[in-house]
């Protein structure tokens, strides 16, 4: 009995010590960010412990809302001293579980840092804080004749897009985030502030030293917290034309895509929807597209060149068996043509009301796209999985929008096995297990298969050099 009482007293003493430590840390955070800049409420923590993926919510112990890079740095130093994990959070639109606090710790919610800091119209670049979203920036740029074209679909934060190396529908013409980030300001695990290309520098190109900017693009918060990004801007095209065309097969749609690119057509977007996806979109939006593989296209350029570009494209698609070719230049009609693609996510969800959608992506050389899509569709049918396909066919990247019942363990397991087979199918075709979603939680083993043990060792060495205590978003990527 006395031993039990002694153990209980020891436990209470240790527990009180931990409570005292947590209270002191929370007080220290508030001394940096103020009372409103720190939250331990369960609703706030749960909101910051999940993204749009199917991974379960992993809430942090505390959420901080810094207002400046100085506050981020000061908070990081506190976390580093007390060995608390740090998880950056933008808008929570990620698709691979990248914001879950696997080991508890502190979530850095960066939404209060929402300033567009430096716009250089004549140089086509801008610097933004991490709370600025894609739509927010383009709204700010509305009267300048410039825009930022990287469009992953969701209104994601631009620094979050850099952290995941996001891309989207315009990548075939304008590239991914990796090609459009000129410089980053990053707070490292110990609070050090790093400017990856030098403070204030924004050249269009450089061959000076190691490319630290691209080291952090795609690092998913595992190397540091991005607090500023300097981005390339582009002139808004004089004219935009949209088109849609149906095809008898995936092969004929891809052949058309390759030939359009080879012809030098000023294509900005080439999106592919398979027959299942088109059928879902027809039902969801009361449309009447042919239920066959379909391409949605968009051209950017001068008004003078548009008619020629559309004429060349129509001829190419016709030669490959394409039919029902329709095109439009005015914004309202273009919107109607693209409605099926824009609403693909919601159309897929509507196939099974009450279920949850999960999007997984892979990317292969364009010539291998027909084979992998055909094999993937066969796999979906064989395993009774609802998974319409939509893709950025111009760069070989496609998504399966899987709709599943998360409360059905058997279905969840079948979907998990399918996604692994899909990724390995892409690897076998000289592709990648993710074209734009990132590694996050779900594809860490696949990353090792993709790049090999030597590359993983180099990555681990870089991680250990920049974050020796493994505090930055632990458990992700590697």
pLDDT in tens, 436-453: 999 999 899 999 999 999
Q: What is the pTM of this model?
A: 0.91
Structural element, H or E, at residue 86: strand 86-89
Radius of gyration of the chain (CA): 24
- Each residue's pLDDT, cut to its tens digit, for the chain (478 residues) gives 445 445 544 543 444 445 545 666 777 899 999 999 999 999 999 999 999 888 888 999 999 999 999 999 999 999 999 999 999 999 998 989 899 999 999 999 999 999 999 999 999 999 999 999 999 999 999 999 999 999 988 899 999 999 999 998 999 999 999 999 999 999 999 999 999 999 999 999 999 999 999 999 999 999 999 999 999 999 999 999 999 999 999 999 999 999 999 998 889 999 999 999 999 999 999 989 999 999 999 999 888 888 889 899 999 999 999 999 988 888 888 888 888 888 898 999 999 999 998 899 999 999 999 999 999 999 999 999 999 999 998 999 999 999 999 999 999 999 999 999 999 999 999 999 999 999 999 899 999 999 999 999 999 999 999 999 999 999 999 9
Q: Compute the distance between CA of residue 374 and CA of residue 432 in angstroms, rounded to an integer.
A: 18
- pLDDT over 90, % of the chain: 81
Q: What is the pLDDT of residue 332?
A: 87
Q: What is the pLDDT of residues 121-141, one digit of tens each?
A: 999 999 999 999 999 999 999
From the list 160, 153, 145, 175, the residue with the least C-alpha distance to 110 is 160
112 SS3 class: coil
Q: Name the residue among 212, 196, 216, 187 with its Cα closest to residue 79.
A: 187
Handedness of CA 421, 427, 433, 435 (dihedral sign): negative
Q: How far apart are CA 161 and CA 258, in angstroms?
A: 28
Cβ atoms of 387 and 399 closer than 8 Å: no
C-alpha distances out from residue 144 to 121, 139, 147, 439, Å: 7, 10, 8, 36
Give the DSSP letter of residue 396. T
What's the pLDDT tens digit per position in 51-91? 988 888 899 999 999 999 999 999 999 999 999 999 999 99
């Amino acid at each position: 009995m006395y031993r039990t009482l002694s153990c209980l007293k020891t436990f209470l003493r240790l527990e009180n010590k931990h409570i005292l430590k947590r209270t002191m840390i929370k007080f220290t955070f508030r001394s940096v960010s103020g009372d409103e800049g720190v939250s331990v409420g369960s609703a706030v923590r749960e909101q910051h412990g999940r993204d749009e993926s199917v991974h379960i919510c992993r809430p942090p112990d505390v959420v901080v809302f810094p207002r400046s890079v100085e506050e981020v740095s000061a908070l990081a130093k506190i976390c580093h001293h007390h060995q608390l994990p740090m998880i950056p959070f933008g808008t929570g639109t990620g698709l691979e579980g990248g914001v879950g606090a696997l080991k508890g710790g502190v979530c850095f919610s960066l939404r209060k840092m929402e300033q567009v800091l430096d716009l250089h119209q004549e140089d086509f670049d801008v610097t933004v804080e991490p709370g600025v979203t894609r739509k927010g920036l383009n709204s700010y740029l509305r009267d300048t004749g410039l825009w930022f074209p990287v469009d992953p679909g969701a209104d994601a934060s631009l620094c979050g897009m850099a952290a995941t190396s996001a891309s989207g529908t315009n990548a075939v013409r304008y590239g991914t985030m990796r090609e459009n980030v000129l410089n980053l300001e990053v707070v490292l695990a110990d609070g050090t502030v790093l400017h990856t290309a030098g403070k204030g520098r924004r050249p269009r190109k450089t061959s000076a030293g190691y490319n630290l900017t691209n080291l952090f693009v795609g690092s998913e918060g595992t190397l540091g917290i991005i607090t500023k990004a300097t981005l390339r801007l582009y002139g808004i095209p004089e004219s935009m034309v949209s088109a849609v065309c149906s095809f008898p097969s995936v092969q004929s749609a891809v052949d058309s895509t390759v030939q359009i690119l080879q012809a030098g057509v000023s294509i900005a977007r080439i999106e592919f929807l398979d027959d299942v996806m088109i059928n879902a979109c027809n039902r969801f939006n009361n449309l009447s597209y042919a239920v066959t593989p379909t391409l949605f296209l968009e051209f950017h350029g001068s008004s003078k060149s548009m008619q020629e570009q559309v004429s060349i494209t129509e001829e190419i698609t016709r030669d490959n068996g394409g039919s029902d070719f329709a095109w439009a230049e005015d914004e309202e009609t273009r919107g109607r043509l693209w409605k099926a693609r824009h609403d693909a996510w919601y159309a897929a969800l509507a196939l099974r009301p009450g279920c949850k959608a999960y999007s997984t992506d892979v990317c292969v050389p364009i010539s291998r796209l027909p084979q992998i899509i055909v094999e993937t569709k066969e796999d979906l049918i064989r395993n009774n999985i609802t998974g319409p396909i939509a893709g950025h066919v111009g760069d070989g990247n496609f998504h399966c929008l899987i709709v599943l019942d998360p409360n059905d363990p058997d279905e969840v397991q079948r979907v998990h096995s399918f996604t692994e087979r899909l990724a390995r199918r892409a690897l076998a075709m000289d592709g990648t297990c993710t074209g734009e979603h990132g590694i996050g939680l779900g594809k860490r083993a696949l990353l090792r298969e993709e790049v090999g043990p030597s590359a993983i060792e180099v990555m681990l060495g870089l991680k250990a050099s920049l974050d020796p205590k493994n505090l930055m978003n632990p458990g992700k990527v590697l």
